[in-house]
Amino acid sequence: MTVDLSVMYCGIKHDSPFILAPSPTTDHVDRLIQAFEAGWAGAVLKTVAVDSRIVSRVFPMVTSLKREKAFIGLQNIDLVSEHSVDIVEQNVKVLKKKFPHKVVVPSIMAFTKEDWQSLTQRFVKAGADIIECSIWHPHGTEWTLCTKVDEPVGTEQIAGWVKEVAGDVPIVIKLSASDSDIIATAAAVERSGANGVSAINTIKSITGVNLETLIPYPNIAGVSTYGGLSGPALKPIALRCTAEIAQKVNLDIASSGGITTWQDCAEFLLLGASTLQLCTAVLRFGIGIIEELKQGLEGWMMEKGFQNLTDVIGKSLPYLVEHSRLPRGIQVVSQINEEACNACGACYTACHSGGHGAISFFEGLPQVDVNTCIGCGLCHSMCFMKAISLIRPNGKPSSGF
């Protein structure tokens, strides 16, 4: 069986769902050429504003969030493109001439109706396939040169301005999980006539504080500021936003936020995404990660019998219901696989700290009192050895665990 990874997003065919998100990677034409040659279906160029050249950048711009050997996220205080509109416009022309079948998406930001429309018209003329509007910015608001919007009304207005002059070029609005009501804003985008949304932007954050100097990270000559968090930490939030938008609004969705592996990609597609934008994973593993993503997704689709992405997109949405519709009265209990258990005690600690004290130690290994266990799942969630499963009291496995 062959698998077709091509997908339609906002009426534009992509040879796969894998897109480079706006980032330092997409701010240089030579890197974009390398990425397209490596197999990426398209790229959203780093956001540009009318007066990008006046933006004063500071260094260092990034700091990471880690726990032991686990990479959790990346906070950046970078701003818009270091290039003028003229240069970004020329980059679009170069890329479209060299790669007519790749999807090139300028990301624009403006302060006035005139600037939103001027930028749109320039990039439409340059040959852009799609235009993405970056209305939200998690940091550096005094430098971002962006309209201060009152969502969702302001978002609908801006989307309408851009759509008014875009002609046949699709318009996508980038949304933020920091929005007071992302669904209301997505609905406003739909009313505006725009074609899709990108969800989600980085989230305003502080990764930590240096306990020696007392200065939050990153330290910029003795002071710091808020940044935008990206990477694995965002994945659960981005999945939620993707699913909610897909369930409640009829718009194409480009998902971003914490996408690192092909498994992540499959999850976002199953919850309604049509395309997938990656940034932090590319910075960590390089442009060549595209091969692993493609091969992994293709292999999984073949295993599941999916021939194309139409069979995949939104497949898991029917399983998401309101809490009141969840089945009641189904009892499960924990079962410990002694051969897989390393006797770390994490399950015991969790059960006695927040559960019902159903786990005890016998001859050096944890044991479950099935008459006390209520099946809350705390021990299962805390076990890094995957030695605990949740089963029905009759011994049958519980679906999903």
pLDDT of residue 146: 45
Domain membership of residue 396 (yes or no) is no
pLDDT of residue 30: 98
Residue 64: enclosing H or E segment and its boundaries?
A: strand 62-67
Same domain, 310 and 384: no
Same domain, 342 and 229: no
Domain membership of residue 398 (yes or no) is no
Residue 64: give its domain's CATH number: 3.20.20.70
Same domain, 233 and 300: yes
Same domain, 15 and 130: yes
Coil, helix or strand at residue 31: helix
Same domain, 228 and 313: yes
Instruction: Name residue 63's amino acid.
Output: T
Is-contact 119 48, C-beta < 8 A? yes
pLDDT of residue 80: 87
What stretches of 50-174 show up as alpha helix (H) in DSSP?
A: 85-98, 113-126, 153-166
pLDDT of residue 149: 55
pLDDT of residue 144: 44
Report d(CA 52, CA 48) in Å as an integer: 6
Q: Nearest 10 degrees: CA dihedral of 14, 298, 386, 325?
A: 60
Same domain, 292 and 346: no
Same domain, 313 and 363: no
pLDDT of residue 393: 79
pLDDT of residue 50: 84
Q: How many domains does the chain have?
A: 2
Same domain, 351 and 203: no
What Å distances lie between residue 125 and 41, 90, 93, CA to CA?
Answer: 21, 11, 9
Q: Give the end of a domain, one of 285, 319, 353.
A: 319
Is-contact 13 310, C-beta < 8 A? no
pLDDT of residue 68: 87
Q: Give the end of a domain, one of 288, 319, 350.
A: 319
Report the DSSP beta bridge partners of residue 20.
43, 278
Domain membership of residue 1 (yes or no) is no
Same domain, 357 and 302: no
DSSP one-letter code for 258: S
Same domain, 241 and 369: no
pLDDT of residue 148: 46
Domain membership of residue 400 (yes or no) is no
Domain membership of residue 401 (yes or no) is no
Domain span at residue 334 reads 327-391
Same domain, 302 and 367: no
Name residues of the chain where pLDDT drops below 50.
143-148
Q: What is the pLDDT of residues 44-57, one digit of tens each?
A: 999 998 876 556 77
Same domain, 311 and 332: no
Q: Give the end of a domain, one of 276, 301, 319.
A: 319
